[in-house]
């Protein structure tokens, strides 16, 4: 399945930690958009969609949450709870974000501008799109 957890370098010193991210260096694409979510209510599940071409890296820069990924054959559950770890998600992966801690801030770097036509919000349609269902 086309995802990976990337551990980014921390520039720690006696003052604390700093993580720096540059497009086409630490981040393997040009960053066209940044968004973040917070104050997510307990038991909320976000996502429930795939993207036709968007690539993203998700960071839980505060608190924790879990990500469910599905490529139509396999699934994976990933815990994000370290601000220096990013989850790279390629296109054509169904994703759901859940189990947000009360203090969770989920930050996302995206390879494209917001485009509703890039979303597949129906699971059967997703399976058809990736050729796993007739």
Residues that bind ligand T46 (CB under 6 A): 33, 35, 37, 46-47, 56, 58, 95, 97, 108, 114
* Min dist. Cβ of residue 39 to ligand T46 (A): 13
Whether the CB-CB separation of 125 and 82 falls below 8 Å is answered with no
User: Given 48, 49, 62, 68, which residue is catalytic?
Assistant: 49
Name the residue nearer to ligand T46 (CB basis): 8 or 38.
38
* Min dist. Cβ of residue 68 to ligand T46 (A): 11
* Min dist. Cβ of residue 11 to ligand T46 (A): 27
Q: Is 49 a catalytic residue?
A: yes
In 102-117, which positions are buried (b, 16+ CB within 10 angstroms) versus exposed (e)?
eebbbbbbbbbeeeee
Whether the CB-CB separation of 42 and 102 falls below 8 Å is answered with yes
Per the listing, tokens 């917070």 go with 38
Provide the annotated active-site residues. 49
């Amino acid at each position: 399945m086309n995802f990976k957890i990337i551990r980014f370098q921390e520039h720690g010193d006696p003052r604390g930690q700093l993580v720096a991210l540059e497009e086409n260096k630490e981040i393997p694409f040009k960053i066209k958009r940044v968004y973040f979510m917070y104050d997510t209510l307990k038991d909320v599940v976000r996502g429930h969609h795939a993207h036709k071409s968007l690539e993203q890296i998700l960071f839980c820069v505060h608190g924790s949450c879990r990500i469910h990924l599905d490529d139509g054959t396999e699934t994976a559950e990933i815990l994000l709870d370290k601000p220096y770890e990013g989850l790279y998600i390629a296109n054509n992966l169904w994703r759901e974000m859940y189990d947000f801690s009360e203090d969770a801030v989920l930050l996302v770097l995206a390879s494209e501008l917001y485009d509703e036509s890039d979303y597949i919000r129906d699971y059967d349609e997703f399976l058809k799109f990736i050729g796993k269902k007739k």
